[in-house]
Structure 1
Amino acid sequence: MNEQTHELLEQVLIAHGGLERWNSFSIVCATLVTGGSLWGMKGLTQDGTPRQMTVWLHEQRASMMPFGAPNQRTVFTPDRIAIETIDGQVVAERQAPRESFRGHGEISPWDPLHRAYFNGYALWSYLTMPFLFTLAGVVTEEIEPWSEGAQLWRRLRVRFPEHIVTHCEVQDFYFGEDFLLRRHDYSVDVSGGLLAAQYVHDYVDAEGLRMPSKRRAYRRGADGHAVWDELLVAIDLSEISFS
Structure 2
Amino acid sequence: MDTLAQKIIEAHGGLNTWNRYTSLTAHLAQGGALWGLKGHAGLLDDTNVTVGLGTEWASHHPFGPARRTTLFQPNRVDIKDDLGKVTEILDAPRSSFAGHTLETPWTEPQLAYFAGIAMWTYFNVPFLLGAPGVVVERLEDWQEQGETWKRLRVTFPPGIATHSTVQTLFVDEGGLIKRHDYDVEIAGNTPGAHYLSGYLEVQGIKFPTRRRIFPRQPDGQAMAESLVVSIDIDRIELR
Per the normalisation by structure 1, the TM-score is 0.95
| 2:167 is the counterpart of 1:162 | no
* Aligned partner letter, 1:236: D
Paired position in structure 1 for 2:121:
125
Paired position in structure 1 for 2:188:
192
CA distance in 2, matches of 1:32, 1:149: 26
- Cα pair 1:218 1:226 within 8 Å, conserved: yes
| 2:16 is the counterpart of 1:20 | yes
* Aligned partner letter, 1:225: Q
Residue number among 103, 106, 114 corresponding to 1:107 in the alignment: 103
SS of the counterpart of 2:197?
Answer: strand
TM-fit CA distance, 1:136: 1.1
- Superposition RMSD in Å: 1.3
Residue number among 81, 86, 90 corresponding to 1:90 in the alignment: 86
CA distance in 1, matches of 2:54, 2:40: 31
CA distance in 2, matches of 1:47, 1:96: 23
Residue number among 130, 133, 157 corresponding to 1:134 in the alignment: 130
Deviations 1:82-136 (A, max 9, x none): 1013543111011000011000011001111110000001000001110011111
Gaps of 5+ in 2: none
| 2:67 is the counterpart of 1:59 | no
Equivalenced residue count is 239
* Aligned partner letter, 1:60: E
SS of the counterpart of 2:59?
Answer: strand
SS of the counterpart of 2:84?
Answer: coil
TM-fit CA distance, 1:239: 0.6
SS of the counterpart of 1:58?
Answer: coil
SS of the counterpart of 1:125?
Answer: helix
| CA distance 1:77–1:47, change in 2 (3 Å) | closer
Q: State percent identity of aligned pairs.
A: 40
Deviations 1:154-182 (A, max 9, x none): 01100001110000000000000111000
Gaps of 5+ in 1: none
* Aligned partner letter, 2:33: S
CA distance in 2, matches of 1:153, 1:97: 35
| 2:71 is the counterpart of 1:80 | no
| 2:40 is the counterpart of 1:11 | no
| CA distance 1:54–1:100, change in 2 (3 Å) | same
Aligned pairs for 1:172-191 within 5 A: 172-191=168-187
Per the normalisation by structure 2, the TM-score is 0.97
TM-fit CA distance, 1:48: 7.2
* Aligned partner letter, 2:55: E
Aligned pairs for 1:42-53 within 5 A: 42-46=38-42, 49-53=45-49
Deviations 1:183-225 (A, max 9, x none): 0000011111111000000001110100000100000011100
| 2:159 is the counterpart of 1:150 | no
Residue number among 186, 203, 210 corresponding to 1:207 in the alignment: 203
Paired position in structure 2 for 1:33:
29
CA distance in 1, matches of 2:104, 2:45: 25
CA distance in 1, matches of 2:38, 2:111: 9
Aligned pairs for 1:213-232 within 5 A: 213-232=209-228
SS of the counterpart of 2:3?
Answer: helix
SS of the counterpart of 1:230?
Answer: coil
* Aligned partner letter, 2:125: M
| CA distance 1:48–1:58, change in 2 (3 Å) | closer
